[in-house]
A = this chain, B = another copy of it.
Amino acid sequence: MDKTQLESCFTAHSGRFIHEWQEFLRFPSVSISDKHQQDCAQCAKWLLAHLAGLGFSTRLIPTASNPLVFAERSGKPDSPTVLFYGHYDVQPEDPVALWKTPPFEPTLINGRLYARGAQDNKGQLFAALKAIETLIMNNALHGTIKILIEGDEETGNMQVLKVLDQERTLLKADLVMAADTGTVSSGAPTITMGLRGIAHMTIVVSGPDHDLHSGVHGGRVPNPAIALCKIVASLHSPDGRVAVNGFYDGIKPPSQEERRLANANPLDPVWYQSVTGVPPVAGEQEFTPVERTGFRPAIDINGLLSGYGGAGSKTIIPASAMAKLSARLVPGQDSGRILKLIAGHLQKQLPAGLKLNITEQGIGGPAFRGNLSSPSVQIASDVLGELSELPTAFLWEGASVPILSYLPQIAGGEAILVGFGSESDNIHAPNESYSIEQFRLGFLYTGLFLSRL
């Protein structure tokens, strides 16, 4: 189908699309909360029935947590197979008091639908599903379409990967599509060409077997809180680089073209400070802010906890001190090796008389970097060019979507990540929303892209 045909179909059916989208959003499918397990199951069943109604053969695949929804519709034998990925689970609605409309009663205000999941990922996913439906109804879907919708994306639970690994035949595809990403800050349509990998650990420094009186002992007892600060401070050099020996070894640098395209959408520091509260001034100064998150790894501390944290003062030497550490990784870095390097570095900094324990080590998956010269990227770019007057942006994203790093390996195909999310959608926050216009763009993109394959 061409753009005009898809646009007129959208105009004709948008009322029903929104109505069904609202139905989808009414399931409080909060995966992190035990009390919503039934809601997740109901939501999965609803999706399954919906896809069966479009002519897909469907399967509910059980996991240790929420079930996977799988649907398949065979196309012509020599046409490409596309695996479309999405997730039906959502973030918790807390803090509920800050919502202006009920989080699970989707409300349309000034062309935006407000609800938990309105964008992430129910809205983006449903726009794509409605495009697939439209192609089917118009006999315009020629390839084989496989749809995989999981219910544990928001938990960080990687159990689902074990199941996927056993379903390699089922999931085999030439192309993996997903609509779970956003656009650059200018609002230009965006192809996400990279994601970082992630690894994390909990660092515990301990010494005294109970909190000690800081007067009686201060000046001769090694203080775990000070020691923790010392070893955390040692992770970075004054120039902003990670100071762990070997951390940058083997990193696959971006090509000149990748750097050029990344920097074509630089971070506007005024806009950046207005949405985050801070200027993007940290890290490796020889790289631009978009390069630092797109092509360079980073180590962050996500939390600190030791001793007394209340009002006033409690003059103790804490028995222990804890830090949560996460590393974002890029192609060429092995998560397991990085965790070992960091642990070894920390151990070397430990002052005499104290103990260091590294626990809760976790590997969230490798980094992903797409291939700029792939024909599918060219098609996506051409389609996006027709949908906007702004030139298509190429984004190397700092965040991690571990399943999207693994899925191309499992399916044996290339991943093409295009989404229409924006910072103002407030995902993972109160008053999440997605506009009808964003939904329409997602619909048109998916319809056009699949028509051109």
Q: Residues of A with Cβ closer than 8 Å to B?
A: 32, 91-92, 94, 98, 155-157, 182, 196, 198, 200, 202, 207-223, 225-226, 228-230, 232-236, 267, 276-284, 289, 292-293, 296-319, 321-324, 326, 328, 351-354, 360, 362, 397-400, 423, 426-430
Contacts and interface: CB of A to CB of B under 8 A. Distances in A.
B210 A430 contact: yes
Contacts of A198: 215, 315
A346 to B, nearest CB: 12
Contacts of A299: 218
Contact of A278 (B221, B228, B281): B221
A32 B314 contact: yes
B428 A220 contact: no
A214 B123 CA distance: 21
Given A226-B301, A301-B226, A314 B324 contact: yes
A306 B306 CA distance: 10
A211 B282 contact: no
A225 B309 contact: no
Contact of A156 (B92, B315, B324): B315
18 contacts: A92-B314, A155-B312, A156-B312, A196-B215, A213-B428, A215-B400, A216-B397, A216-B423, A218-B293, A218-B299, A218-B328, A223-B301, A229-B323, A304-B304, A305-B306, A313-B326, A316-B428, A316-B429
Given A217-B280, A303-B316, A312-B362, 8 more contacts: A156-B312, A156-B313, A182-B216, A214-B326, A220-B267, A220-B293, A229-B230, A302-B315
A142 B97 CA distance: 64
A210 B429 contact: yes
Contact of A313 (B213, B215, B225, B362): B362
Contact of A282 (B220, B279, B302, B360): B220
Contact of A226 (B157, B223, B235, B305): B235
A210 B94 CA distance: 12
Contacts of A202: 313
Contacts of A98: 210
A199 B162 CA distance: 55
A278 B222 contact: yes
B307 A277 contact: no
B279 A353 contact: yes
A217 B156 contact: no
Contacts of A235: 226
Contacts of A215: 196, 198, 293, 328, 397-400
